[in-house]
Structure 1
Amino acid sequence: MPDTSAPTRDVLRIGNASGFYGDRFDALRSMLTGGPLDVITGDYLAELTMLILGRDRLKNPASGYARTFLRQLEEGLGLAQERGVKIVANAGGLNPAGLAAAVRELAERVGVPVRVAHVEGDDLLAARDWGEGVLTANAYLGGAGIAECLRGGADVVVTGRVTDAALVTGPAAAHFGWDADDLDALAGAVVAGHVLECGTQATGGNYSFFGEHDVRRPGFPLAELHADGSAVITKHPGTGGVVDIGTVTAQLLYETGGARYAGPDVTARLDTVRLTQDGPDRVAISGVRGEAPPPAVKVGLNRIGGWRNEVVFVLTGLDIDAKARLVKDQIADALAAPGVKRPPEEVRWELARTDRADADTEETASALLRLVVRDSDPDAVGRAVSGAAVELALSSYPGFHVTAPPGKGAPYGVFEAAYVPAAEVPHTAVLPDGTRVPVPTAAPTRVLEPVPEPPLPDPLPAGPTRRAPLGLVVGARSGDKGGDANVGVWARDPQAWRWLAHELTVEHLRQLLPETAGLTVTRHVLPDLRALNFTVQGLLGEGVAARARFDPQAKALGEWLRSRHADIPEVLL
């Protein structure tokens, strides 16, 4: 057995301590004290986070970064220095230079001398006219700027908007001496970075088969990276959760699309990923092939889309449908009454039948009727809507009440993706001594093309079936990319894969998930992962910040799919 007690040059240990802005606060300390690491990373940014930071910046131009990162460093900075661990985080958000300065001030205050660098150039808001109301316009940078900062002697590197995997590709490139031509190695690091980026989702969090493991407090993941880009995903000894092929597969499918997983460093071929159980809580990733990155870089745009309000009416007991019709008609009349300038541009009702017949508690006897209104004019969703709901209190259906007092409405955001030539993005590494180093764009590049569907395994022989939930034989994980959703589905053994590959077609998915009717659905086949990945265009409207859907990030779309019934071969059950 190899000695894993201390870091070596041959293995780079990169841990994750944050999967989002607001993740477990003590994770940085726990990862630094739980076992050996070379680098610790933190992912603080998401599409919604960038909108939140954009609104912060409107109020205070000196803000725009994740402040919890600074509070974590008050203790973590000294621990990292004692252990020789580099810190790399995208907590800089819209103001990486401001965060770098704040880290230096913190280091001086706590008496920990560290060299701080930052990466900038992603903020393209002033570079062109992006359209009315755009608050943020940030390119997704790769890891080359991070690598330059680490080569320049940085102990702490903070960035703005980079790809989530860049937090791993940058340190790996610096450590192993990779350059832009080491496509397979970079692709392996991208895959490892994608597994790490969401923290405990790789160690049993949000996992379909959670009931088989103790996941009350899963530990954060780490990757043991090798010079060829292969890696082992694991976690510190004694921490909760589990790392197995299922948890790693689930995270690999999260928020991805086809076999080509593109980024500014490299396009990783997800259809080449091989996973092997390498021991308890150890999964080896190997075989990843890389291709040149695309010539254009993705730019995330966030703008204020308008104003939104919501009222949830509680309907209890008998005649639920009739009660819903009554209150809908009353609200419609109120919004069309004299004195109301006009109804809101968008009015949406949704009845969730959470009630049960002959229920033994009032709550389980009740259904929820949700009203959502949106408009470009705040007045159209404010007093007119909340007033109409309140004024029905004594003149509507029996048992009338709402879950919360109606408010005056709030702005909602819209996320859009644009693409610009990589050469137009001023990717810059600002070293600890202030030296500004331009980071060249990757060359050559390769235009993305779909991967033809690979051959499917032989179908299972015909035999008796039983009507049962899909989730008895498959796992799933789902998520969002702007207004699109993805749901990845994987089989746990070869027999189930032979059935799944032929059974779950696009047409069958539409039948199981009627909300996808009328939308473009694309199926991607990943045989080595025994997985299918579906992308559903437009399911989430204008993205999570617009909150156009009950589950605005499609987090539970996969679990809804697993709950649907199909004719499953008895041999699998």
Structure 2
Amino acid sequence: MSRVLRIGNASGFYGDRFDAVREMLTGGAEGGGLDVLTGDYLAELTMLILGRDLLKDPSAGYAKTFLRQMEEGLGLAHERGVRIVANAGGLNPAGLADALRALAGRLGVPARIAHVEGDRLPARDGVLAANAYLGGAGIAACLDAGADVVVTGRVTDAALVTGPAQWFFGWRPEDPGGYDRLAGAVVAGHVLECGTQATGGNYAFFTGHDPKLLRRPGFPLAELHEDGSAVITKHPGTGGVVDTGTVTAQLLYETGGARYAGPDVTARLDTVRLAQEGPDRVRISGVRGEAPPPTLKAGLCRLGGFRNELVFVLTGLDVEAKAELVRDQVEDALARGPKPRPAQVRWELARTDRADAATEETASALLRLVVRDPDPEAVGRTLSGAAIELALASYPGFHVTAPPGKGAPYGVFETAYVPVGEVPHTAVLPDGTRLAVPAPQERRALAPVPEPPLPEPPPSGPTRRGPLGLVAGARSGDKGGDANVGVWVRDDRAWRWLAHTLTVDLFRQLLPETKELPVERHVLPGLRALNFTVTGLLGEGVASQARFDPQAKGLGEWLRSRHVDLPEELL
């Protein structure tokens, strides 16, 4: 009987459910325990936050929440024989490893601590943090050396699974079928990385499940097999739900085309097959892999300048005219101010008001002003003066949601690519030995996958106008300044319709914000899904807060709310 690696996740971001570590370590006590527990703490915005922490304190730069979680989790993991792997080291994995050793000493837990480094790139002008995304081989080397806890800096989210898998099964990329096995682990890791998004969190069809189940979803785990296949599940008795829909949604999250590239392997998402194996059990199989690309992705975080915002409340009648008046007044005041007009000025009117409303709040619309400039005075004192002087001189009912404040710094995230040989991937073993981690020798440049043949179009029939979301689910997210929207359906009849109906042109019509931007459509027949990538929608990334929804979290739900002609047979 083949061995199975049971690997769970207890964090999808810095600030996720604090008790999840304990829940995952104790939830499988009745014969269903874990071999490895992972935690993902590093989003793009987190790297900027940690960079600012490090400027203030050279011993900081890691996720302090993880260290507090280990005050209880370290002993529990040791008792149960569970290895812990987390990227909580952020910009200072060595510092976190030292803090963990000190904690283990205080607790009397004989935990062997290791860490992975080498992801930090040489300093660049104006860059607060520059990190390459490493793969899982360094983690595997630390586990091979007997580490009980491995903390890393910037690795790919999936490396938290590929590393333990390489250690547990002894996989090597050059072995026959090696890339396919690694690709299976990448897909399993991508499902686990965002925690409860795989168990019913943020799920488009949530109304189809018992609300009590979704009140507190349990965290996911994967039963990874030696051939690279996996079963996604959760601990018995925990909340949430695992079905092919929740797994599909997470597979589409923050991805692009059929080739999902990483430092260990390029996984072919167009080969993924899902099957409901039982209650809260979804099998992933058939994943094919290819040699990784010759470069590593890197994230560059820098301070972009200063921003400020002000929200005007427009109540009752003549909302458009009120908005026009106050816009003209503020623009005139900014032009006459002591500083030049801010480099970027953006106005957005949200018509949240209703006619003949029963409350003042529901009778009001919101006019949002966002300004950016390299000079804090231009977005602080200048904007404050322009707004305050209008308090008694503007539209009837003038007020704002909060008084104007000082300008706050904002960050910019940029993506770069560096040759693999320029990044010194290093495993620092429990005894302090520094081990250079070799990269896979075979490399394959990325190329688009030709669009696969579409299914036969459905026969024509009666249609009814209604929201796309009556038929299709969606999940959206961010990658730097770009956004993706994955759209999927639940049966073959709906897939025949979706594949031929939701073209790039219709996508742009439904989401007018994307009309002038590059949009690509990627077809994933095995998931009955289309994945759209929109270049530049999010400006300079989440930290710059360029739009109302800076991480495109709601973009998919906006798309689902738009009305199209739906075949009546699908309703």
Alignment TM-score, normalising by the size of structure 2: 0.97
For the Cα contact (< 8 Å) 2:120–2:132, is it kept in 1? yes
Distance 1:457 1:301 in 2: 41
Distance 2:67 2:390 in 1: 48
Percent identity over the alignment is 80
Where 1:485 maps in the other structure, the secondary structure is strand
Aligned equivalent of 1:416:
414
For the Cα contact (< 8 Å) 1:479–1:553, is it kept in 2? yes
Aligned equivalent of 1:168:
161
Query: Quick one: which of 434, 437, 440 aligns to 1:439?
Result: 437
For the Cα contact (< 8 Å) 2:133–2:298, is it kept in 1? yes
Distance 2:69 2:463 in 1: 54
Distance 1:247 1:514 in 2: 28
Distance 1:440 1:482 in 2: 28
Write out aligned runs for 1:116-127 (5 A).
Answer: 116-126=113-123
Aligned equivalent of 1:20:
13
Structure 1 unaligned residues grouped into runs of 5+: 1-7
Match status 1:494 vs 2:492 = yes
Write out aligned runs for 1:360-379 (5 A).
Answer: 360-379=358-377
Write out aligned runs for 1:407-556 (5 A).
Answer: 407-556=405-554
Distance 1:489 1:523 in 2: 10
Aligned equivalent of 2:285:
286
Letter of the aligned partner of 1:178 in structure 2?
W
Match status 1:207 vs 2:179 = no
Aligned equivalent of 2:315:
316
Where 2:97 maps in the other structure, the secondary structure is helix
Letter of the aligned partner of 1:212 in structure 2?
G
Match status 1:10 vs 2:7 = no
Distance 2:42 2:384 in 1: 33
Distance 2:99 2:502 in 1: 51
Residue 111 of structure 1 and its aligned partner are, at CA, apart by 1.3
For the Cα contact (< 8 Å) 2:273–2:285, is it kept in 1? yes
Write out aligned runs for 1:77-116 (5 A).
Answer: 77-116=74-113
Write out aligned runs for 1:90-239 (5 A).
Answer: 90-126=87-123, 130=124, 132-181=125-174, 182-213=178-209, 214-239=213-238
Residue 180 of structure 1 and its aligned partner are, at CA, apart by 2.1
For the Cα contact (< 8 Å) 2:540–2:546, is it kept in 1? yes
Structure 2 unaligned residues grouped into runs of 5+: none
Distance 2:393 2:53 in 1: 42
Distance 1:405 1:111 in 2: 52
Where 1:306 maps in the other structure, the secondary structure is strand
Residue 379 of structure 1 and its aligned partner are, at CA, apart by 1.1
Aligned equivalent of 1:5:
none
Residue 9 of structure 1 and its aligned partner are, at CA, apart by 7.1
Distance 2:17 2:333 in 1: 45
Distance 2:85 2:539 in 1: 33
Q: What CA deviation, in whole Å up to 9, does each residue of 1:273-299 have, x standing for no partner?
A: 000001000000000000000000011
Write out aligned runs for 1:348-363 (5 A).
Answer: 348-363=346-361
Letter of the aligned partner of 2:478 in structure 1?
D
Match status 1:55 vs 2:48 = no
Distance 1:435 1:219 in 2: 38
Distance 1:24 1:375 in 2: 36
Residue 236 of structure 1 and its aligned partner are, at CA, apart by 0.4
Residue 23 of structure 1 and its aligned partner are, at CA, apart by 0.2
Residue 113 of structure 1 and its aligned partner are, at CA, apart by 1.1
Query: After the TM superposition, which of the residue ranges 392-401 and 271-280 deviates more from structure 2?
Result: 392-401
Distance 1:292 1:145 in 2: 18
Letter of the aligned partner of 1:442 in structure 2?
P
Letter of the aligned partner of 1:239 in structure 2?
T
For the Cα contact (< 8 Å) 1:263–1:294, is it kept in 2? yes
Letter of the aligned partner of 2:152 in structure 1?
T
Query: After the TM superposition, which of the residue ranges 206-215 and 39-48 deviates more from structure 2?
Result: 206-215
Residue 399 of structure 1 and its aligned partner are, at CA, apart by 1.2
Where 1:234 maps in the other structure, the secondary structure is strand
Match status 1:558 vs 2:532 = no
Match status 1:383 vs 2:381 = yes
Letter of the aligned partner of 2:388 in structure 1?
V
Count of matched residue positions in the alignment of Structure 1 and Structure 2: 561
For the Cα contact (< 8 Å) 2:117–2:152, is it kept in 1? yes
Distance 1:386 1:296 in 2: 47
Q: What CA deviation, in whole Å up to 9, does each residue of 1:458-479 have, x standing for no partner?
A: 1110000000100000000000
Q: What CA deviation, in whole Å up to 9, does each residue of 1:334-369 have, x standing for no partner?
A: 1112x5221101110000000000000111000000
Q: What CA deviation, in whole Å up to 9, does each residue of 1:157-196 have, x standing for no partner?
A: 0000000000000001000000122100000000000000
Query: After the TM superposition, which of the residue ranges 325-334 and 260-269 deviates more from structure 2?
Result: 325-334
Distance 1:32 1:278 in 2: 24
Distance 1:172 1:311 in 2: 50
Distance 1:86 1:387 in 2: 57
For the Cα contact (< 8 Å) 2:514–2:534, is it kept in 1? yes
Where 1:454 maps in the other structure, the secondary structure is coil
Letter of the aligned partner of 1:143 in structure 2?
G
Aligned equivalent of 2:260:
261
Where 1:278 maps in the other structure, the secondary structure is strand
For the Cα contact (< 8 Å) 1:125–1:136, is it kept in 2? no
Distance 1:504 1:275 in 2: 23
Aligned equivalent of 1:67:
64
For the Cα contact (< 8 Å) 1:180–1:443, is it kept in 2? no
Letter of the aligned partner of 1:211 in structure 2?
T
Supply the RMSD in Å over aligned alpha carbons.
0.8
Query: After the TM superposition, which of the residue ranges 385-394 and 62-71 deviates more from structure 2?
Result: 385-394
Distance 2:2 2:396 in 1: 72
Q: What CA deviation, in whole Å up to 9, does each residue of 1:456-512 have, x standing for no partner?
A: 001110000000100000000000000000000001110000000000000000000
Where 1:305 maps in the other structure, the secondary structure is strand
Distance 1:424 1:348 in 2: 40
Distance 1:473 1:172 in 2: 37
Distance 1:198 1:282 in 2: 18
For the Cα contact (< 8 Å) 1:135–1:302, is it kept in 2? yes
Residue 391 of structure 1 and its aligned partner are, at CA, apart by 2.1
Q: What CA deviation, in whole Å up to 9, does each residue of 1:388-432 have, x standing for no partner?
A: 112211221111111112111111111111111101100000000
Distance 1:481 1:154 in 2: 32
